[in-house]
Amino acid sequence: MAHLSDGTLRRKFDDAGSMTESENRHYTACADCQARYATLAEDAQAVAGALAVPDLKVDVASAFSRVRTAPAQPRFGIRLPIVRPASRPVMGVLAASAVVLALVVTGIAQGLFFHPQSVQVVQVSVADLQSLNGLGGFGTLTWTTQPTPQLVTSAAEAASVSGLHVPAVGNLPSGVSSNVTYAAMPAAVGVFTFDAAKAAATAAKAGKTLPAMPSGMDGSKLTVTVGPAVVEIFGNLNLPTGTGTTTGAAPDPSQLTLPQLVVGESSAPVVTSSGVTTQQLEDYLLSLPGVSPQLAAAIRAVKDPSTTLPIPIPIEYATSTNVTVQGVTGVAVGDNTGLGAGVIWIKSGTVYGVAGTLKQDAILNIANGLK
Amino acid sequence: MASKAGNRNGTVTNEESFEALFSAEYGRVAGIANRVLADPHEAEDVAQEVFIDFNRLHSASAPYAAAWLYRAAAHKALNRVRGRRRREKRELSQATDEGAHTMDPQHMLEVSEDRRQIRQALARLAPKPATVLVLRASGLSYAEVAQSLGVGIGQIGTLLRRAEAALRKEVTRGTSF
């Protein structure tokens, strides 16, 4: 008989009667398994002692009263458990990094810079996100067509505003409210202009020295088209909710209520370039202070950067896997705990995303059932 | 798990279900948070936030309610340990104050410091091993831990073993754990 697994031995520590008769016979005769058991039992005892705390005495009635009288929270927004530890600063840079990372990756592409047809994960650390956030100091973004996201009253109106077919969700899982709020946005166009003087000034403020911009990069422009887009938000967003802490902390406007389910659709972003060559841009951006060798390697590893949308995943807080959704490869984030999961994919030049406080299986079912 | 309560019509409202769920699970949820934080007041803050989040997002009669609450309590409490530095100062301050009444101050400071280092080491682990340790140490059965983590019960022994070894390794970097 093979040696007993660590799991079997560990369970024996908690429940001496958990092993089968044959496992017991093996254990009695096997000095190796006995030695392993002694080691893991010592670890288990040490950890149990380390995590011991005095018994907690609670007043359930008072606690329930506090929960019921908790102040209301703002109605819209995001509170993802998987990124909660990072709090506001990281949420901010996460959003910014998605745009900047796209710009960085587009530097590798040729001709028409960037028109993604598929998605790929780029794992980033919090430090990477913070360094990417700083890239905004290397130029100026101006909108030639401002993004104008707006709440609308129906799917038909969302379709009218965006010009997109609004995806219909099939069967909602039990527990998800059928109340739906629609938002829509027409296409927006922004121009990012590299500015050597601004970059130098930003770096000087941070006490850093930058490598010189390649010839022709100063003043060169990236034109980014995002949207149009539609978003469907499922949940009782009008319900008052609260933070409800015994310390009486004021509600934090940045900590907004997470809808149960969000379904989004957007035309894939398109980026074009004038002036700078793609290799110059890549080499320059990836050589900047704060861009870790790991991040640079991850970006260089993107196989077909001109047609791949990078999805920045903070490795400390979220896991991701490739999945097949609607017949194409997508990226799923989160897990099967129900705390939070999402999936994003590109099909026929359109980016789709489904996310919510559901198990990953449920999210994938919804994604595959979109019509 | 929530017990059923009825209104005058004999039906159970979500509000009643939530109150029943709260009564049944609040102590355990707060206990899980306290296992991580070693701070009763902060643990109750976390427990109440967890219930508020749950009530906003889910039906109180959902079959996964307890599992969701347990896991959320562990995660939220671990996140607090990760995100807070001022907590360290307060613990030391509390240890000094309490020690004046109950224990040798030097010993209390040492206990507090050990506890702080262990919690910080716990928070440095990946979410799954940290959570499995917290939930098991809080008295959840293998089946309950498995349900909370969304894994098979047969995996719990292995997960526990790996997590305990990882925690010891993490702590022994700086102490005589």
pLDDT tens digits, one per residue of A324-365: 888 888 888 875 555 678 888 888 888 898 888 888 888 888
Residue A12: what pLDDT?
A: 92
**Is A56 contained in some domain?**
no
From residue A166, alpha-carbon distances to A117, A158, A237, A264, A371 in Å are 20, 7, 20, 9, 9
Which tokens hold the place of B117? 């280092």
Phi-psi region of A224 (alpha: psi -120 to 50; beta: other; left: phi over 0): beta
The DSSP code for B39 is: -
Percent of chain A surpassing pLDDT 90? 12
Convert the pLDDT of each residue in B112-137 to its tens digit. 667 778 888 999 999 999 999 999 99
**Cβ-defined contact of B22 to A64 (cutoff 8 Å):** yes
Name which of A11, A47, A242 is nearest B133 (Cβ-Cβ): A47
**CA dist., res. A301 & res. A310, Å (int):** 11
Name which of B44, B56, B167 is nearest A58 (Cβ-Cβ): B44
Residue B24: what pLDDT?
A: 96
The DSSP code for A72 is: B
A221-233 average pLDDT score? 83
A245-274 average pLDDT score? 61
Q: Is the pLDDT of residue A86 over 70?
A: no
Do both A245 and A345 map to the same domain? yes
Confidence label for A323 from pLDDT (cuts 50, 70 and 90) = confident
Q: Is the pLDDT of residue B160 over 50?
A: yes
**Cβ-defined contact of B158 to A70 (cutoff 8 Å):** no
Do both A42 and A148 map to the same domain? no
- Interface with B, mutate which of A67, A246, A261, A360 (most B CBs under 10 A): A67
**Cβ-defined contact of A51 to B137 (cutoff 8 Å):** yes
Mean pLDDT, chain A, whole residue set? 73
Residues of B in contact with A36 (CB under 8 A): none
Residue A235: what pLDDT?
A: 73
A1-23 average pLDDT score? 91
Tell which wins on pLDDT, B22 or A153: B22
Residues of B in contact with A85 (CB under 8 A): 78-79, 82-83
Q: Is the pLDDT of residue A48 over 50?
A: yes
**CA dist., res. B7 & res. B15, Å (int):** 10
**Is A189 contained in some domain?**
yes
A 250-269 residues with CB < 8 A to B? 257-258, 260
**ipTM of the complex, rounded to two decimals:** 0.80
**CA dist., res. A346 & res. A362, Å (int):** 19
**CA dist., res. B30 & res. B38, Å (int):** 11
Tell which wins on pLDDT, B145 or A125: B145
Residues of A in contact with B83 (CB under 8 A): 85, 87
Strands A118-124 and A261-267 come out as unpaired
**CA dist., res. A332 & res. A321, Å (int):** 5
Shortest Cα distance, chain A CAs vs residue B152, angstroms: 12
- Say whether residue A26 is in contact with chain B using an 8 A CB cutoff: no
Name which of B23, B59, B150 is nearest A337 (Cβ-Cβ): B150
Convert the pLDDT of each residue in B80-108 to its tens digit. 888 765 555 555 555 544 444 444 555 55
Residues of A in contact with B43 (CB under 8 A): 56
Interaxial angle between packed helices A31-50 and B127-137, expressed in degrees from 0 to 180 and rounded to the nearest 10: 80
Tell which wins on pLDDT, A91 or B52: B52
**Cβ-defined contact of A10 to B31 (cutoff 8 Å):** no
A263-275 average pLDDT score? 80
**Cβ-defined contact of A357 to B57 (cutoff 8 Å):** yes
**CA dist., res. A93 & res. A129, Å (int):** 6
**Is A171 contained in some domain?**
yes
Strands A188-194 and A139-145 come out as antiparallel
Confidence label for A25 from pLDDT (cuts 50, 70 and 90) = very high
A185, A161 Cβ separation under 8 angstroms:
yes
- Residues in CB range of A108: below 8 A, 6 or more apart: A278, A279, A282, A299, A300, A302, A305, A306
**CA dist., res. A195 & res. A218, Å (int):** 5
**Is A42 contained in some domain?**
yes
Convert the pLDDT of each residue in A297-315 to its tens digit. 777 776 565 677 766 666 6
**Cβ-defined contact of A7 to B156 (cutoff 8 Å):** yes
**Is A55 contained in some domain?**
no
Which tokens hold the place of A148? 């104008």
A108-121 average pLDDT score? 55
Do both A45 and A189 map to the same domain? no
Confidence label for A111 from pLDDT (cuts 50, 70 and 90) = very low
Residue at token pair 């960037």: A114
Shortest Cα distance, chain A CAs vs residue B88, angstroms: 17
CATH topology of domain B14-172: Butyryl-CoA Dehydrogenase, subunit A; domain 3 (1.20.140)
Name which of B45, B56, B150 is nearest A336 (Cβ-Cβ): B150
**Cβ-defined contact of B71 to A337 (cutoff 8 Å):** yes
**Cβ-defined contact of B154 to A7 (cutoff 8 Å):** yes
**Is A238 contained in some domain?**
yes
A170, A232 Cβ separation under 8 angstroms:
no
Residue type at position B83: G
Tell which wins on pLDDT, A262 or A60: A60
**Is A67 contained in some domain?**
no
Dihedral over Cα of A176, A96, A332, B146: its sign: negative
Count: domains in chain A:
2
From residue A4, alpha-carbon distances to A28, A149, A165 in Å are 11, 59, 57
Confidence label for A20 from pLDDT (cuts 50, 70 and 90) = very high
**Is A61 contained in some domain?**
no
Residues of A in contact with B82 (CB under 8 A): 85
Residues of B in contact with A20 (CB under 8 A): none
Residue A238: what pLDDT?
A: 45
A109, A305 Cβ separation under 8 angstroms:
yes
Confidence label for A108 from pLDDT (cuts 50, 70 and 90) = very low
**CA dist., res. A4 & res. B7, Å (int):** 54
Do both A181 and A33 map to the same domain? no
Q: Among A62-71, A140-149, A167-176, B158-167, name the one with the lowest average pLDDT.
A: A140-149
Residue A78: what pLDDT?
A: 33
**CA dist., res. A254 & res. A232, Å (int):** 21
Mean pLDDT, chain B, whole residue set? 80
Residue A259: what pLDDT?
A: 66
Shortest Cα distance, chain A CAs vs residue B135, angstroms: 11
Nearest CA among A259, A101, A99 for reference residue A188: A99
Among A273-277, B140-144, B147-151, which range has the highest average pLDDT? B140-144
A315, A123 Cβ separation under 8 angstroms:
yes
Tell which wins on pLDDT, A256 or B33: B33
Do both A140 and A252 map to the same domain? yes
Size of chain A, expressed as the number of residues it contains? 371
Nearest CA among A255, A252, A268, A266 for reference residue A149: A266
Residue A90: what pLDDT?
A: 36
Do both A354 and A247 map to the same domain? yes
A269-274 average pLDDT score? 75
Tell which wins on pLDDT, A99 or A232: A232
Residues of B in contact with A46 (CB under 8 A): 164, 168, 177
Residue A178: what pLDDT?
A: 76
Do both A26 and A126 map to the same domain? no
Residue B21: what pLDDT?
A: 95
User: What is the domain range of residue A268?
Assistant: 81-369
Q: Is the pLDDT of residue A160 over 90?
A: no
Q: Residue A323 phi/psi, 5° resolution?
A: -135, 160
**CA dist., res. A225 & res. A266, Å (int):** 11
